[in-house]
Amino acid sequence: MILQTVKHNRLLLRVPGFLFCMSLFLLSGCSEPAQYRLNLVAVHKVELANDSSFESEHQLEPIADILEAMFGTPDLPQIPPVPGIEDVLDIDKLYMAAGPYGTDEHGKAQGLYRQHCVHCHGISGDGAGPTAAILNPYPRDYRLGKFKFKSTASGSKPTHGDLKKTIENGMTGTAMPSFKLLDSDEVEALVHYVKYLSIRGEVERYLIEDGDQFAELFTAVFKDHSQLSDDEKEEIDEMSTEEIKEEQETVDAEIVYLKSQENLVENVMEFVLSKWIEADDNVLEIKPKPEMNLKELEESMANGRKLFFSKDAACSTCHGDTALGDGQTAADFYDDWTEIPGGFYDPKNPESLPEFLALGALEPRKLRPRNLRQGVYRGGRRPIDIFWRIRNGIDGSKMPAAKEVALTDEEVWNLVDFVRSALPYDQLSRPLVHKPENTKEIN
């Protein structure tokens, strides 16, 4: 918001240009070009932690300028010239997905993201489009760079194929629809666009949150006295005019470095991009599921049941003795998009929540372990999908990865057989009494 005001003023200063734009706007009847929204939720999180507000001209504006120089705009995306990026992002595909919905001169679809995804995932990929607030779970905020349903190890990026599968199949049991009817090059374009928004969002967060980037610049020297925090006031009051001027020059020089190729390529992009480049190497190799006759399957399911309720696998601590998803009753059970450090909400310190909601954050909702009796799997219901979920965990959702020292591959397959083939049909173990706190609606 602050940034928008600043930009707006800047635009008005260039009056002839502004009038020209306005007349074009009136003549064409087209709407204002779409703009990315700065991640002000991340900004405010840093402000609270540092007890100091970001300053427009020396922090917010340069961050927005860097992002635009590197990634372009929602209508005209760009790929920063960084080694290796061409293996992750394809600019022609981005052009197909970006911009307003329509067709190009060859009749090829354009603006696919705005046609199909934006009302849920938002123009900046913040997961806060106009439909988002009424959905549960909320649409993904790509800017955290985390994805739940993938073939790669815990903490790794999804592969291109993982994202493609999500977009083609949708996510059963959530509002995320299937886009199987789109042409395959359209799905490809959308996969690239999701990666682009994710990388852009991660770069943005890095610039905002990392201690070596914009977060800790001493911009108090540029601020009006009324904007200073108590600590800043103390420091500034002890400085002479001369010292303030020197410090201003230091900060200006630091900003020149932060905007330099050297910083952006070697520190920022290296940090963000390397994980995307490595994704394919982090795919979990799995031996195919052993062929089984009926008796062997029964044994496998029985062993899976034992494991499910055992201490080692610990599934029931979250999914419950009932497997209805009612084992986890901790008051502070939130996903990584909600809870700090990834998110914005500190359940032990909820009084700052209204400030974040005012900046566009969605109301926190408690994370719920899945009710496994429904047999509805967001990440796919093939045995290998469930194997990946158990072995890799579900990133961002507190469901842990089962390490090989704790569960062998055979044991994971036993759990897969139990969860998939026995649990949803398992009448006898259905509890007669549900815990009252879990029968009432949560959120």
Q: Which residues bind ligand HEC (CB under 6 A)?
A: 116-117, 120-121, 131, 135, 137, 139-140, 147-150, 163, 166-167, 171, 174-177, 179, 190, 194, 313-315, 317-319, 328, 367, 369-370, 372, 377-379, 386, 389-390, 394, 397-400, 402, 415, 419
CA-based nearest residue to 415, from 310, 314, 303, 288: 303
Q: Which residue has the tokens 């399911």?
A: 301
CA dihedral over 83, 89, 93, 98, signed as positive or negative: negative
CB of 429 to ligand HEC, least distance (A): 15
We find the least distance from the C-beta atom of residue 439 to ligand HEC, in angstroms, to be 18
Task: Evaluate whether 364 touches 174 at the Cβ level (below 8 Å).
Answer: no
Q: How far is the CB of 292 from ligand HEC (least distance, A)?
A: 18
Residue closer to ligand HEC (CB basis): 143 or 150: 150
Find out whether 128 and 135 touch, Cβ atoms under 8 Å. no
Q: How many residues does the chain have?
A: 443
- Amino acid 258 reads L
Q: How many Cα atoms occupy the beta-carbon half-sphere of 101 within 13 Å?
A: 9
- Rounded distance between C-alpha atoms, residue 269 and residue 41, angstroms: 22
* Least distance in angstroms from the C-beta of 414 to ligand HEC: 10
Q: How far is the CB of 216 from ligand HEC (least distance, A)?
A: 32
Closest distance between ligand HEC and the C-beta of residue 351, in Å? 26
Asked if residue 164 lies in contact with residue 188, where contact means CB atoms within 8 angstroms, the answer is: yes
- By C-beta, is 258 or 419 nearer to ligand HEC? 419
Say if residue 341 is preceded by a cis peptide, omega within 30 of 0. Answer: yes
Paired with 103 in beta bridges are 109
CB of 312 to ligand HEC, least distance (A): 9
Cβ(401)–Cβ(350) below 8 Å: no
